With several copies, the nearest count.
Chain A
Amino acid sequence: MGLNLEITLGKIKLNSPLILCSGIFGFGNENIKFIDERKIGAIVTKTITYEPWPGNPQPRIYETNYGMINRIGLQNPGVFYFMRNIFPKLRKKYKRVFVSISGRSEKEFVEIIKIVSKKRIDAIELNLSCPNFENEKKMISQSSELTFKIVKSVKNETDIPVIVKLTPNVTEIKEIAISAEEGGADILSLINTIKGLAVDFKKMRVIDGGLSGPSIKPVGLKCVYDVYKVVNIPIIGMGGITCGLDAIEYFLVGASAIGIGSGFYSNPQIIDDIYKTLKNFLRKNKFKSIREMIGLLNEKKENF
């Protein structure tokens, strides 16, 4: 079968629409047998910050109904260490490497961009769901203004395509998505985890973090569906994908690529499984490429 699963994200060509989500695969340098690089469009690194961060104390994770909550807290060795010691391995291993970054100030964002832009990375993903930004009580992507501002300064600093990853914890994600596009975003990643909380009865404590997994799929689909109608840049859809049909749902409501997240922990062979289902689906429905199913279930674009 000549069928292939190639897609494009703006100017970036990927040989598969399957993208490994930020934070799910550590720094990407673990030797995980289950990841077949040929079936992967790109890997997004765990979010990297300027200085090394230790991450949060325990508890960091807890299971929920068809999902999990995490509050890892961006444990990472800092951008210098990362670019020097980890990035080169990723570069060799994956055809496309997207580096996820976050900062506590506009200045930090710019500094990090300068450093990562020196190497051949395929895209930068801005994780704008980091709390404690410049002493605001909000995440950046909870404010249209901040989103616009940060995206714009980052775009001024680099020629590398910029992906903007948004939180679903907003009143109207369409507004934020438009601001990101206006700021110059090349691609959007939807969605980051949803604010959630679990109770650990045994230890009588709460785990207050970000919810991911199958239970959030309807929220991810809704965000992609809504945002697709109002922007003209491609969307990487994610949130609760555990099988090929989930991935197809995201394409049908407007995603150009999909992110594999915590579903990998449940089924580490998820990549092979999705890849196979996608091929079969294209064949059965006589689609020639993934592109043909993108947004099929969306009404026409709307003016917002």
Chain B
Amino acid sequence: MERKICKILKNENLSGNYYFLILENNFKKIFKPGNFIHIKIGNNFLRRPFSIALFDREKIGIIYKVVGKGTDELRKKKKGEFLDILGPCGNFFPIYKNKKVCIIGGGTGIAPLIFLSKVLKKYGNDVYFFYGARDKNLIFFKLLLTGINYIFSTDNGSYGKKGNIFDVFKNFEENFQVIYGAGPEILLKKLSIYSENIPVYISVENYMACGMGLCYGCVIRIRKNNGYEYKRVCKDGPVFKASEIIWD
């Protein structure tokens, strides 16, 4: 993990409350899909975690939704300003090769999945990306990649199938060898049922303080023997096997 002061290359509104932030990449480490960065924003005491949506030699990108104090301040940052970044944080999605894989997500969960889909494609997988949104304008077409099979759904039917993305996925005919998910907890819970037969990896979120595995603030319950143990989302996660998690 490194701490860098990164220049903002772009901070643009995608639509609604969603923004796309691109930072100059001056990290030595390679970031992997599932990793997140921990950003110090203004006078907020704690940093704020965001999944990596884009990563290459020059750039690091995140997609964020304005939901509170920190993200509202982030929104106001301009190109050329600097941000204090900690990263790469957390673990990452295991990458399979030459498989038929499903990626499914919605909301801000799309962010890590975009990066993931790019890498999975590179490794020869046949990638089906189930992309759920509330409305057509919350589908970020310009961030999508070629060579990936997108299946869309919107709550209001303004694009793709009408309804929940999980239902679309459920009724889909293909047999996948691996499932990757991120987004609303309810979606992640539902995905767990597939984990009996095939690997299901999901990225979970939790309120964080350190982001480095030190404070034990971000723990979730993970199956252990007949009981559970608390594991840290920031360090042992954010990617877990869906089967391991004990949901509240």
Contacts and interface: CB of A to CB of B under 8 A. Distances in A.
Asked whether the complex places CB atoms of A and B closer than 8 A, the reply is yes
Interface of A: 23-26, 30, 32-34, 46, 54-55, 58-64, 66-68, 70, 72, 75, 213-214, 262, 264-269
A23 B209 CA distance: 13
A32 B212 contact: yes
B210 to A, nearest CB: 4
B216 A26 contact: yes
Given A63-B46, A268-B3, A269-B3, A55 B210 contact: no
Nearest to A54: B230
A70 B215 contact: yes
Interface string B201-220: 00000111111111111111
Given A33-B2, A268-B86, A66 B215 contact: no
A265 B209 contact: yes
Interface string B85-102: 010000000000000000
B230 to A, nearest CB: 6
A213 B219 contact: no
B223 to A, nearest CB: 14
Given A75-B230, A213-B45, A265 B215 contact: yes
A60 B217 contact: yes
B3 A55 contact: no
Contacts of A63: 44-46
Nearest to B40: A266
Nearest to B48: A63
B45 A64 contact: yes
Given A33-B1, A265-B210, A268-B86, A60 B40 contact: no
User: Main SS of the interface on chain A?
Assistant: loop
Contact of B220 (A32, A33, A58): A58
Contacts, number: 87
Contacts of B47: 265-266
B217 A72 contact: yes
Nearest to B68: A202
Interface string B23-51: 00000000000000000100111110000
A66 B45 contact: yes
A217 to B, nearest CB: 12
Contacts of B46: 63, 68, 265-266
Given A66-B43, A70-B209, A54 B229 contact: yes
Nearest to B86: A268
A70 B217 contact: yes
6 contacts: A30-B235, A58-B219, A70-B215, A72-B217, A265-B212, A266-B40
B173 interface: no
Contacts of B208: 61
Contacts of B207: 59-62
A47 to B, nearest CB: 12
Given A26-B215, A264-B210, A267-B84, 11 more contacts: A60-B207, A61-B218, A63-B45, A63-B46, A72-B216, A262-B209, A264-B214, A265-B210, A265-B214, A268-B212, A269-B3
Interface in B152-211: 206-211
B56 interface: no
B248 interface: yes
Nearest to B221: A57
Contacts of B86: 268
Nearest to B212: A32
A30 B208 CA distance: 17
Contacts of B219: 55, 58, 60, 75
A264 B248 CA distance: 30
A72 B45 contact: no
B212 A67 contact: no
Nearest to A75: B216
A61 B45 contact: no
Interface in B39-89: 40, 43-47, 84, 86
Contact of B212 (A30, A59, A262, A267): A30
- Counting from the closest, the 7 A-B pairs by CB-CB distance are A61-B217, A26-B214, A265-B210, A60-B217, A63-B46, A61-B209, A72-B216
A64 B216 CA distance: 18
Given A54-B230, A268-B3, A60 B216 contact: yes
B56 to A, nearest CB: 23
A196 to B, nearest CB: 13
Contacts of B211: 265
A68 B214 CA distance: 15
A25 B217 CA distance: 12
Nearest to A242: B45
A24 B216 CA distance: 9
